[in-house]
Amino acid sequence: MRGKSILLIIGGGIAAYKSLELIRRLAERGVKTRAILTKAGGEFITPLAVSSVSGEKTFQDLFNLTDESEMGHIELSRAADLVVVAPATADLMGKLAGGLANDLASTTLLATDKKILLAPAMNVRMWQSPSVRRSAQTLKKDGVLFVGPNDGEMACGEFGPGRMAEPLEILAAIEQALGAAHIKDNAPLTGMRALVTAGPTREPVDPVRFLGNHSSGKQGYAIAEALMRAGAETTLISGPVSLPAPGGVKLTRVTTAREMLAACEAALPADVLVMAAAVADWRPDFAANSKLKKSTDRVVPLIKLVENPDILATLAASSNRPRLVIGFAAETDDVVENAVAKRARKGADWIIANDVSGNVMGGERNRVHLISAKGVEDWPEMTKTEVGAQLAARIAETLKGAA
Ligand code: CTP
């Protein structure tokens, strides 16, 4: 990243204070940041604060004669290697999606010939409103990059997606956007689509309880990131985990197995499917609408379980079947034997089997066996990131060989 320069547009939101931290982090990595502070952004942080951390002039007005004579807005938009909008408000997203330009930020966004990366931040209801959904869809179609928003508690007291990504996550997305040109050169999966699932599913018992499991999502997230780095257009369908969204990957969050199946079906077609999620095999027959209470006569409620759809088997048998279908087999006993049987039963091409009797779930390392029609390969123990990279390399070899 050293030597690169960023044009950072700071929109009006409480998350604007995090942009100061972002500028500092960029500076630590030798990246120069010039900032535009919108009028609304200026209600949250001052141009003096921005200039103090960036060491550069902070631009605010479109019709400022001094600024225009020193550096016109067209030049400002093109001098940088990447344009980053953080926080990206509903207003800025709407203007860019609709082609409006009535201030310095929106004019610069239309005038740039560089990639644009947005870090949205807004109230959860605003983020979910049909108009903002439309803006986001249009912008994605136009090739605008996104990082976040994350789920979490908001300054307004509500909870849900809408929190701006953390400065380090934005930094990773910037790094990736800047490096994308270089990565493309040795990206064997360019032009291919990958669908990855990760994390547990949660099956509600009542509004406050659920059946779940210990899956951390780390292995699935590492695989999605590795496939994206290898050039694949990657969609990650994730159950509830506390991991940040990997930059450059399209992330859909779900809760239950049935939601995960629907999200996978909506994301097809794909060239490769990697089912790393720990999908709950069963769910309570029905979820109570109100909290189950302890009765005075100490009768314990019986929860009747029904079987969840098998996502892997369903997608492997569908008319939209990806060319390469990869399942996981988390086993505590007879790891390889069970996984070989699972491969046949579920119609997968490969099964990645791992022994989860130790502290694999939530840990950083993994020891897996790759089971295919050719037999069983035992991989040495490595980090989950390395497993992701090795798997992406094998997927690329196989898909390219078959292309
Ligand atoms: N899987 C799935 N849908 C389910 C259950 C599992 O798609 N309802 C997928 C997992 O994502 C994984 C593979 O199937 O890729 C194997 O999961 P695992 O839990 O090990 O297998 P089970 O089907 O639960 O078999 P068993 O209970 O015999 O271990």
- Pick the residue whose CA is nearest to atom 4 on ligand 1: 310
CA atoms within 13 A on the CB side of 114: 25
Whether the CB of 199 sits within 6 Å of ligand 1: no
**Could you report the per-residue pLDDT of 310-365, keeping only the tens digit for each?**
999 999 999 999 999 999 998 888 999 999 999 999 999 999 998 887 666 777 88
Task: Give the residue-averaged pLDDT of 239-243.
Answer: 94
CA of 307 to the centre of ligand 1 (A): 12
Whether the CB of 275 sits within 6 Å of ligand 1: yes
CA of 250 to the centre of ligand 1 (A): 24
Task: Evaluate the CA torsion angle 168, 169, 174, 177 in order and state its sign.
Answer: positive
**Nearest atom within ligand 1 for CA of residue 326:** 15
Whether the CB of 330 sits within 6 Å of ligand 1: yes
pTM (predicted TM-score): 0.60
The predicted pLDDT at position 214 comes to 93
Separation of alpha carbons 27 and 257, rounded Å: 43
CA atoms within 13 A on the CB side of 357: 6
Separation of alpha carbons 152 and 134, rounded Å: 22
CA of 138 to the centre of ligand 1 (A): 36
Q: With 60 as the cut, is the pLDDT of residue 260 above it?
A: yes
User: Tokens 């020193």 map to which residue?
Assistant: 70
Among 91-105, 110-124, 286-300, whose mean pLDDT is lowest?
286-300
The predicted pLDDT at position 364 comes to 80
pLDDT confidence band for 184 (50 / 70 / 90): very low
Whether the CB of 311 sits within 6 Å of ligand 1: yes
156 is catalytic: yes
CA of 332 to the centre of ligand 1 (A): 13
Whether the CB of 340 sits within 6 Å of ligand 1: no
Separation of alpha carbons 20 and 12, rounded Å: 14
Q: Mean pLDDT in the chain?
A: 91
**Nearest atom within ligand 1 for CA of residue 277:** 11
Give the CA distances from residue 350 to residues 324, 370, 391, 395, in Å, rounded to whole numbers and listed in that order: 8, 7, 11, 10
Separation of alpha carbons 95 and 283, rounded Å: 44
The predicted pLDDT at position 359 comes to 67
Among 52, 128, 155, 156, the active-site one is 156
**Phi/psi at 364 (5° precision):** -100, -15
Give the CA distances from residue 375 to residues 327, 335, 337, 343, 354, in Å, rounded to whole numbers and listed in that order: 15, 14, 12, 11, 16
The predicted pLDDT at position 360 comes to 65
Q: With 50 as the cut, is the pLDDT of residue 185 above it?
A: no
CA of 281 to the centre of ligand 1 (A): 7
**Could you report the per-residue pLDDT of 122-174, keeping only the tens digit for each?**
999 999 999 999 999 999 988 899 999 988 777 777 788 889 999 988 998 89
- Pick the residue whose CA is nearest to atom 18 on ligand 1: 329
Q: With 70 as the cut, is the pLDDT of residue 390 above it?
A: yes
User: Tokens 């990279």 map to which residue?
Assistant: 389
Residue 241: in which H helix or E strand, if any?
none
Rounded percentage of the chain residues whose pLDDT exceeds 90: 70
**Could you report the per-residue pLDDT of 48-94, keeping only the tens digit for each?**
999 999 999 999 987 776 666 656 777 888 889 999 999 999 999 99
From its phi and psi, is residue 370 left (phi > 0), alpha (psi between -120 and 50) or beta? Answer: beta
Q: With 80 as the cut, is the pLDDT of residue 205 above it?
A: yes
- Domains along the sequence of the chain with CATH: 5-178 (3.40.50.1950), 193-402 (3.40.50.10300)
Separation of alpha carbons 384 and 166, rounded Å: 23
pLDDT confidence band for 120 (50 / 70 / 90): very high
